[in-house]
Amino acid sequence: MQIAIIPARGGSKRIPRKNIKAFGGRPMIGWPIAAALEVGLFDEVIVSTDDDEIAAIAEDAGALVPFRRPGYLSGDLTPTRGVITHAIADAEARHDKTVRFACCIYATAALLRAEDLRRGFKMLADWHGVSFVFAAAGYAHPVQRALLRRDAGGVRMISPENARTRTQDLPEAFHDAGMFYWGRRDAFMDDEPMFSPRSLPCMIPRDRAQDIDTPEDWAFAETLFDRMRANEAGA
């Protein structure tokens, strides 16, 4: 059995109700649900929420909401891993079957495409020594030449040994794109680290990798989304 798990807590503070706020003509959460349903890899697309309104919108979008997330998993500081393992255990109890692969998809991953999920799953299934595959995106500028402000004024380099290194000679660095995390069942349940030698990045173009934590993030994501849709319409 393979399941998608979309965590969607009701208590977002910086952008109130962001999981169901209108984005591109539908509630935000509707986009990752649509991608998960479209890819055809999941026996269930599960939304884990503590919120009745989010649950109703998720069900209207085609997701399953088999439970209300318990209070101990609904706080501001609740780690996502606990939400995932709770949903896996619930699915196994309901079906009396073992989950083989699970994919955590964030509710704000509006720029996610079904093909991204398909690529990530193929990487995980093909590499038997790999526990996780996660969405990642490259930095626009080498992080080895990043700067920090000094408390006493001025700036300093994070890696001053690279001060005279040409940018083209530095290895490409990338970051977690905050979109999806494919994993083997036991890797999730045994609390293996997400980022380790047993993890692989599934690279996403930078113009589709936008985390949404602030109103400025939201506005920029809408610009990227409109451009993506325009490109798709013109293809």
Average pLDDT over residues 146-165: 92
* Contacts (Cβ under 8 Å, ≥6 apart) of 124: 101, 130, 132, 133, 182, 183, 184, 200
- The answer, yes or no, to whether residue 228 has pLDDT greater than 90, is no
Is 5 within 8 Å of 104 (Cβ atoms)? yes
CA dist., res. 94 & res. 104, Å (int):
19
Per-residue pLDDT at 218: 87
Is 211 within 8 Å of 151 (Cβ atoms)? no
Number of domains in the chain: 1
Q: What is the tens place of the pLDDT at every residue in 156-206?
A: 999 999 989 988 899 999 999 999 999 999 999 999 999 999 999 999 999
Q: Is the pTM of this model over 0.75?
A: yes
Residue 47 included in any domain = yes
- The answer, yes or no, to whether residue 235 has pLDDT greater than 70, is no
Residue 147 included in any domain = no
Chain CA centroid to CA 222, Å:
17
Domain of 112, in residue numbers: 2-137+174-234
Q: What CATH number did the domain enclosing 53 receive?
A: 3.90.550.10
